[in-house]
Chain A
Amino acid sequence: MTDQAYNFAYLDEQTKRMIRRAILKGIAVPGYQVPFASREMPMPYGWGTGGVQVTSACLVPEDRLKVIDQGADDTTNAVSIRKFFQRTAGVAVTEATAEATVIQTRHRIPETPLHEGQILVYQVPIPEPLRFLEPRETETRKMHELEEYGLMHVKLYEDIARHGTIATSYAYPVKVEGRYVMDPSPIPKFDNPKLGQNPAIQLFGAGREQRIYALPPFTEVVSLDFDDHPFEPSKAPHDCDLCGARDSYLDEVITDDRGGRMFVCSDTDFCAGRQADGHRGRLSAVEAVQ
């Protein structure tokens, strides 16, 4: 049931038009961060206010919304945002990646490949990839303008000098269409290869930082690296203990105080789907007994 006290999808029409114009300019210049007049949302910064505003501007009543938080459909953040749009937009919701038309995500790209007609909305905390290297917005803006990204390569080089390998494991910087260096939000670098040539539209919203950026479908996205230290998507060297998947991103779960641990898919829909198909992992039997 839609809450009639609010406009469709919560935001007023003037705000949605402003966000929509920013999204279109973001699509036209892939990877460039478009400033927008971010609104106060009925949730604290850091809980996806940017993503919620982008989702609000994109939703139509026919949509089927999926919300994930670190790959999971059933965590507080995901459940709250899903309920928010059920109440204010009256849209259908789902946990199945393939059935969703709009997916709002915090820090993961679903394992199931996306398809045309889907929109993936990212919640972004710090949209500026150069921010921790150069705190001044005036300077980072100039660096993007001049395509001056040497500092980022120095940072990756220092990783190698210190750790022998590029230690950046999430929010791994990418270059879009050979022009803008972009922060893909804190997704694990395991997900980076899914950013490029993706058939879905990818929109990024940073509420506190007031930036929107976008990747149109089939856009070239390259993770920064060096010839002698090529980019490597990494994951825990285990199989999922529930569904046995060997190629999905895993969460490590501590199970007792004697060093016991298990690894499970971070994407709950993917893992549940595999288990429903009869796939079993190392600890599946134990789960059944409990």
Chain B
Amino acid sequence: MITAALSGGFIDAPVQSARAFRAILEAMARPGTIHPVDGAAAPEPLSVAASVALLTLADGTTPVHLAGGANSALVRDWIAFHIGAPLVAAEAADFAVGTWQDLQPVTRFRIGQPDYPDRSATLIVEVDRLVNHGPALTGPGIALATWLSLPETEAFHANRALFPLGFDCLFTCANRLAGLPRSTKVEKL
């Protein structure tokens, strides 16, 4: 019996997912702000924050793409037991999980349709470092400007140029997460 797949879920799902969603909502609505979350732990290599984001947002109706190292047998079993999401190729995914390198090329992901820009992917990007230092961010949700350690800037310029189409990102590091919706303008470095 694979016990690793059975543990690591929410103990009190309604309340824990509510608190997790509020953190994710604040993160997406205020790009660059970093929020702690807890309550879920998928098997390695997924971080606590990525596990929480998946448990809170994904379910049997949302295809998930596991990129690179995240696509391990243990993680697949964990998702099958706790979430029941179909695992799919990058092009068909509502949610994708992996490091920025593993998610390349990000142009594969769904950016929505001109009449339905909401039909786009959300990337859960695992990063080693998540601090308020790096390229400046401006746009909706940001009073003047803020800074966030991003893995690169070029891809986000290209994504912003597609607005209102584009993918949205959640950056996860250990038990902390930050959001970068498609509406945010990233400083050119």
Contacts and interface: CB of A to CB of B under 8 A. Distances in A.
Interface of A: 7-9, 13-14, 16-18, 20-30, 32, 34-35, 57-61, 116, 119, 141-142, 144-145, 177, 179-180, 199, 201, 214-220
A95 to B, nearest CB: 22
A151 B135 CA distance: 40
20 contacts: A8-B14, A8-B15, A17-B17, A21-B57, A24-B25, A24-B168, A25-B168, A27-B141, A28-B28, A28-B182, A30-B183, A32-B118, A58-B18, A58-B25, A116-B30, A177-B183, A179-B163, A180-B164, A217-B29, A217-B30
Interface string B1-45: 000000000000111011101101110111000000000000000
Contact of B120 (A7, A25, A144): A25
Nearest to A17: B59
A218 B142 contact: yes
Instruction: With a 10 A CB-CB cut-off, give which of B25, B26, B142, B183 has the most chain A CB atoms.
Output: B25
Contacts of B168: 24-25, 28
A18 B181 contact: no
Contacts of B117: 25, 29, 32
Nearest to B31: A216
Contact of A24 (B28, B142, B163): B28
B30 A216 contact: yes
A142 B113 CA distance: 11
Given A20-B21, A217-B29, 4 more contacts: A27-B28, A34-B118, A145-B114, A215-B140
A179 B164 contact: yes
A138 B13 CA distance: 38
A208 to B, nearest CB: 19
Contacts of B181: 27-28, 216
Contacts of B13: 13
Nearest to A59: B18
Given A17-B56, A201-B25, A218-B141, A29 B30 contact: no
B29 A27 contact: yes
Contact of B164 (A7, A13, A20, A32): A32
A29 B56 contact: no
Interface of B: 13-15, 17-19, 21-22, 24-26, 28-30, 56-59, 61-62, 94, 114-118, 120, 122, 139-143, 163-164, 168, 181-183
B118 A29 contact: yes
Contacts of B118: 22, 25-26, 29, 32, 34-35
B62 A13 contact: no
A7 to B, nearest CB: 6
B17 A21 contact: no
Contacts of B140: 30, 177, 215-220
B84 to A, nearest CB: 10
A29 B17 contact: no
Given A29-B164, A30-B183, A18 B61 contact: yes
Contacts of B25: 20, 23-24, 27, 58, 119, 201
A167 to B, nearest CB: 31
